[in-house]
Structure formats: C-alpha cells, structure tokens
Chains A and B, each alone.
Chain A
Amino acid sequence: MAEEKQNLLQLYRFCFLMLADAAEAQEVFHATLREAAQLAAGSEAPRNRLWFFRNARWRCLEAGEQGLQAEAVDLKQDELAESAPSQIEKLEPQQFAIWISGAPEPQRTALALFYLDEFNYRELLSVTELKPPELSKLLCDGRRQFQAWLDATLPRTET
C-alpha cells in the first residue's frame, strides 16, 4: 500500500494529547522537526512518516518523566453509552488531552495515536510497539474508562 501524506499539524496534536500542555507540545514538535531537518541535511532523511511520531513519542515520554507521574490504579470502567457523543460534544479538547496525558504508558500513546485518526491498524502497532491483543485491550479499556470519566464529569441525559 502506498504511504500516505501526513498532515504535519497532526504531529502537534499528538504532542498536545500526550502532554496536555501547549508550550511543552510546541517544544517537542519543534525539536522533532529540527532533528528531521538535520537528518535531511545530512542526506539521512527520516525513513518514513512514522518516524516523526516515534520520535515525538519518546520526546513526550522524556518530558513527561520530569513532571507528575500517573498512578497505576484500576480506573472505573463503564459500558459505552449511546449518548456518549453528546457528552463528548460538551468537552473542551484541553479536558480530553488532560485525561489522555494522565493515562499510563503505553495506553497514553495508543489512545493519542488512535484518536488522531491518521493511522491504519498496522501503523498503530508499529508506532506503539504493541502486539495486537495488547493494543486491543488498551483501546477497549481506554474507551470504557473514558466513558466512566464522562459519566462522572458530565452525567448522561438519557432520553
């Protein structure tokens, strides 16, 4: 399959989801592009578009290590609700980024990349370095945990 063009601004959104901080996200975004430019100048241009996301991911993880760490706790999970889209509509992107950035690795990366809606299944596995059952479980649990958080934050208005 031919490689697709990748909107460069999605890389910034990925960094923002990972860090929930615009300034830090910009810093990682710029650092990633700078390294790509340096490699390209040395005739060693990044091998593919996934390189940008892998590189940004590790930078985000490094940046994240310096701040507060998410505790490994079993978050409450709820079944996905039909009314979830209306709950999500009421959210600000910043709120979702805070929730994602608080998830433990590698769930954080998996969710951030998945909801960017830029990658196919194989690419997701490649960037997250996960096995299919692991990725599946992280995404499934992530949805349910986010639904539980939505229910706690913005209670459902069942029709």
Chain B
Amino acid sequence: MSAIQLSRKEKMLVHCAPIREERVDDRALRTALHRARKTEAFAVQQNFDTAVAALVQSIPIPEEITDWIPPDTFIAPRRRRWQKYAQNPAFLATGIAVLVIAIVGIFQLVERMNRFPGETTARRLLTTASSTHAMMLDPVKTDAGALGDFLFMKHRLVRYDVPPEFAELKTLGCRVFDDEEGQRVAQIWVVEKKMQFFLFPAERDPKTGKAREFSGWRSIEQEHWAGVVKEDKGVCFMATLRGSAKDLAQYVSKKKE
C-alpha cells in the first residue's frame, strides 16, 4: 500500500466512516474515504467494523418481540408537512419569486384593463386642468348641456356635446384651443366643485382613420387630479376635478337619458 498521509480532519472523519458505503452521504467524508481507501490501516478498520457489525446483527430477537412485531416491520419516515417544505430556502425563494411575478402581472393586467384609446390626450388635458385659471376662459353662464350648440355655432365643433350626467351643471366659462397635436379642444369651467370639462376628438386608427371607440366611463388619476372619460361618436368628453375618482363616481353612476 502507498504511504498516503491523511490530514488531521480526514483521520477524524475516517474514524467515523460508516460500515456500509451507502451510508456515506457527506461530501467531506466521501473525500476523506477516497484517500483513506489507499491505506492499509483503513482496510483493517473496515474489516474490523464489518465483523463487529455482523456480530451485532446476530443478536437474537426474543420470541416475545418477533411474535408481536414481524421482522420486516419498519419505522416509517414521517411525511413532511407543507410547512416543512415551505421552510426550505429553495422553495421559499421560488415562492417569493412567483408571488412577485403574480403581483406585477395583476398590476399590469389591471392597468391594461383600465387603458382606453385617447388616454394619453386625457392625461395631458388633466395637466392642463391643473394649471388653468377661471380668468383664462370666456365667461359663459348657462347649463353645460347647452354648450353643444354654442360650440357648433361659434367654433364649428360637431358633436361636442356634454353628456346627460353633467348637462345640468352651471357653467362659468368656456374656451376652445388647439392642443400640442393640433386637435381642437373645448374646455368648460363649471360652478360645482370647480370642475372642468374637456371635449376633444377621439383617438383614430392611423390606417383606417376611424375613431377608436370604447364603451362606458373610464377613470384616470394623476397628481391629485381625477378625471372620468367617455367616448361618443368620435368625440371624447372628460370631467375633471382636484380630488380622487371617488368624487366623480357619484356623477357617472347615475343614469340619465
């Protein structure tokens, strides 16, 4: 046999070497045994241990026990509960990752569901609303619903009508301007809650030129300002106020013809 010198730690592990190979499940122990197998001392130790183990296995089992417990009765390993698996770092990390992905996915889904054609313009106009003063508008005192004719007659804006939900509110002023994209936008200031209305062309499909329609009211929020938007016959109407979408919910929830 070669004169292999085992380190102190290797010697320590080799002294604890299990008798059967299949019991070696420790990496350091396996490495130590790999080196120790080349030594004579280890072969002697293995033969010694094997002989003693065989002697132990020959310990007779009393009849009182074999009658009661068959020789092939095993202590079943306890089933791991899900809590045990959950404590495993690999499962824990995977679980957290899946949870984060799910949360991000849900957020994106909700965001996508809330998107509507013309949202970009609506958000831009929400910024306009936050920086507008009443004095910037021409004073017009009437019902908001009556301004549709005014806008048509004076500015040739077709179907720029205030929806029935907001038609009865009293106005303070009105103006028409061109936005960054050259679209004609009507802005109306009403008395109630200092709300502002915007009427602007709906987003159009660049290929067909048709207005992209959407049904019902859609809400947006931006920097403490909220808006609700509705599309009708190629024109979008947006009501805005400083506050949250909840403040506008009461208007859009009531059905009016």
Please report A residues at the B interface, Cβ cutoff 8 Å: 1-9, 11-13, 16-17, 22, 26, 29, 45-49, 52, 80-82, 84-85, 88-89, 91, 93, 96-97, 114-117, 119-122, 124, 132-133, 135-137, 139-140, 143, 146-147
B73, A8: Cβ atoms closer than 8 Å: yes
- 9 further A-B pairs in the complex, CB-CB below 8 A; given A16-B59, A93-B60, A136-B12: A5-B77, A84-B51, A89-B55, A93-B55, A114-B16, A132-B13, A136-B13, A136-B15, A143-B49
Per the bound structure, the CA–CA distance linking A12 and B29 in Å amounts to 29
Shortest Cβ gap from A47 to chain B (Å): 6
B44, A22: Cβ atoms closer than 8 Å: no
Q: Which residues of A contact B65 (CB under 8 A)?
A: 9, 12, 26, 29
Which of these, A3, A93, A132, contacts B12 with CB under 8 Å? A132
Which of these, A29, A89, A97, contacts B59 with CB under 8 Å? A97
B52, A9: Cβ atoms closer than 8 Å: no
Which of these, A7, A47, A48, contacts B74 with CB under 8 Å? A7
Q: Closest B-chain residue to A140, C-beta based?
A: B15
Q: Which residues of A contact B26 (CB under 8 A)?
A: 120-122
A147, B12: Cβ atoms closer than 8 Å: no
B77, A3: Cβ atoms closer than 8 Å: yes
Q: Which residues of B contact A49 (CB under 8 A)?
A: 75, 77
A82, B69: Cβ atoms closer than 8 Å: no
Q: Which residues of B contact A29 (CB under 8 A)?
A: 65
Per the bound structure, the CA–CA distance linking A97 and B60 in Å amounts to 12
Per the bound structure, the CA–CA distance linking A103 and B78 in Å amounts to 33
Please report B residues at the A interface, Cβ cutoff 8 Å: 11-13, 15-16, 18-20, 23-26, 29, 41, 44-45, 47-62, 64-66, 69, 71-78
B75, A52: Cβ atoms closer than 8 Å: yes
Secondary structure type dominating chain A contacts: helix
Per the bound structure, the CA–CA distance linking A2 and B77 in Å amounts to 9
B74, A8: Cβ atoms closer than 8 Å: yes
Shortest Cβ gap from A43 to chain B (Å): 12
Q: Which residues of A contact B19 (CB under 8 A)?
A: 115, 117
B53, A117: Cβ atoms closer than 8 Å: yes
B59, A120: Cβ atoms closer than 8 Å: no
Which of these, B41, B47, B78, contacts A85 with CB under 8 Å? B47
Which of these, B11, B20, B58, B78, contacts A47 with CB under 8 Å? B78
Q: Closest A-chain residue to B52, C-beta based?
A: A115
B16, A84: Cβ atoms closer than 8 Å: no
Per the bound structure, the CA–CA distance linking A8 and B52 in Å amounts to 20
Q: Closest A-chain residue to B73, C-beta based?
A: A8
Per the bound structure, the CA–CA distance linking A80 and B44 in Å amounts to 7
Q: Which residues of A contact B54 (CB under 8 A)?
A: 88
Given that A5-B75, A132-B12 are contacting pairs, would A115 and B53 also be in contact in the complex, using a CB cutoff of 8 Å?
Answer: yes
Q: Which residues of A contact B73 (CB under 8 A)?
A: 7-9
Per the bound structure, the CA–CA distance linking A84 and B47 in Å amounts to 8
Per the bound structure, the CA–CA distance linking A132 and B24 in Å amounts to 15
Instruction: Enumerate the 10 nearest inter-chain pairs by beta-carbon distance, A residue then B residue, closest first.
Output: A3-B77, A85-B51, A5-B74, A88-B51, A6-B75, A136-B12, A136-B15, A93-B59, A140-B15, A117-B53
Interface CB pairs A-B, < 8 A, 5:
A5-B76, A12-B62, A122-B26, A139-B16, A143-B48
B69, A9: Cβ atoms closer than 8 Å: yes
Given that A4-B77, A122-B26, A136-B13 are contacting pairs, would A93 and B56 also be in contact in the complex, using a CB cutoff of 8 Å?
Answer: yes
